[in-house]
Amino acid sequence: MSIEVLDNVVPKELLNKYNDLTLGLRRIRSDDGEIKYNTFIEYGSDYNIHGEYIVDKFIHEEAKNIWLWFKKVTNITDNNLNTCYINCMSYGDEGYAHIDGTKTDNIVTCIFYINPEWHSQWGAETVFYSGDYKGNFEDDWYYEHDIIKSVLPKFGRLVLFEGHIPHSVRPLSKRCFAERKTFMLKLVNVDINSIKKGLIDAIT
């Protein structure tokens, strides 16, 4: 399983511009009893929230600029981008263990942490679990798995991982009065090591 954590590779002016924009975004909160946080889709057609069809184009220029930078340094194409969105969580919201795709889907997920500051006592880590997903997270998986990696949402940090790895967001602590915001890319038919190399080469 491949989970890569990279710091200070993304131009922070791009993240700051998008973070400023998200202060006024109209976010959609799911009420289906499953998803317990706010999601705003920027690009992609594989989401249908509250019956809303999402067209295959970026909604905001600030999000598109992050993608254009990412595409340039990693040498991938628009055809490799499946979905782009932002997740926003507040105290009281909940995440749960899930995967972004099966092994055969060949999805690589990229998380950008865009909060300008984040204190460790605020919680909200991204955690990754052992064990394979086999059609459903049944009781035996929950009793037998373990946390294999935990990542604090520090500003400018980027996490790349294979989409079949089970993961979740830990809750925000009651000391946190901010929203935890992550900018997400879901990529298809890409090599995670090649992407990592492109990102590192961009700052060396």
Reduced to 3 states (helix: H, G, I; strand: E, B; else coil), residue 41 is strand
Position of tokens 């990102």? 199
- Quote the CA–CA distance of 115 and 194 in Å, as a whole number: 27
Whole-number pLDDT of residue 80: 93
Indicate the pTM of the whole model: 0.89
Whole-number pLDDT of residue 113: 97
Domain edges within the chain = 3-201
Contact (Cβ atoms closer than 8 angstroms) between residue 128 and residue 161? yes
Mean pLDDT on 67-88? 93
Query: Tens digit of pLDDT for each residue in 86-141?
Result: 988 888 888 888 899 888 888 999 999 999 999 999 999 999 999 877 666 666 77
Whole-number pLDDT of residue 70: 97
pLDDT above 70: residue 165 = yes
Mean pLDDT on 68-87? 93
Contact (Cβ atoms closer than 8 angstroms) between residue 81 and residue 42? no
Contact (Cβ atoms closer than 8 angstroms) between residue 84 and residue 43? yes
- Per-residue pLDDT band for 49 (boundaries 50, 70, 90) equals very low
Query: Tens digit of pLDDT for each residue in 8-40?
Result: 999 999 999 999 988 877 655 555 555 556 778
CA neighbor of 109 nearest in space, from 59, 151, 62: 151
Name the fold adopted by 3-201: Jelly Rolls (2.60.120)
Q: Which two three-digit tokens encode residue 106?
A: 């060949």
Q: What percent of the chain has a predicted confidence (pLDDT) above 90? A: 57
Q: Which two three-digit tokens encode residue 107?
A: 């999805």
- Quote the CA–CA distance of 148 and 127 in Å, as a whole number: 8
Q: Which two three-digit tokens encode residue 69?
A: 């930078």
Residues 6+ apart with CB under 8 A from 146: 129, 130
- Quote the CA–CA distance of 29 and 40 in Å, as a whole number: 9
Contact (Cβ atoms closer than 8 angstroms) between residue 156 and residue 203? no
**128, amino acid identity:** F
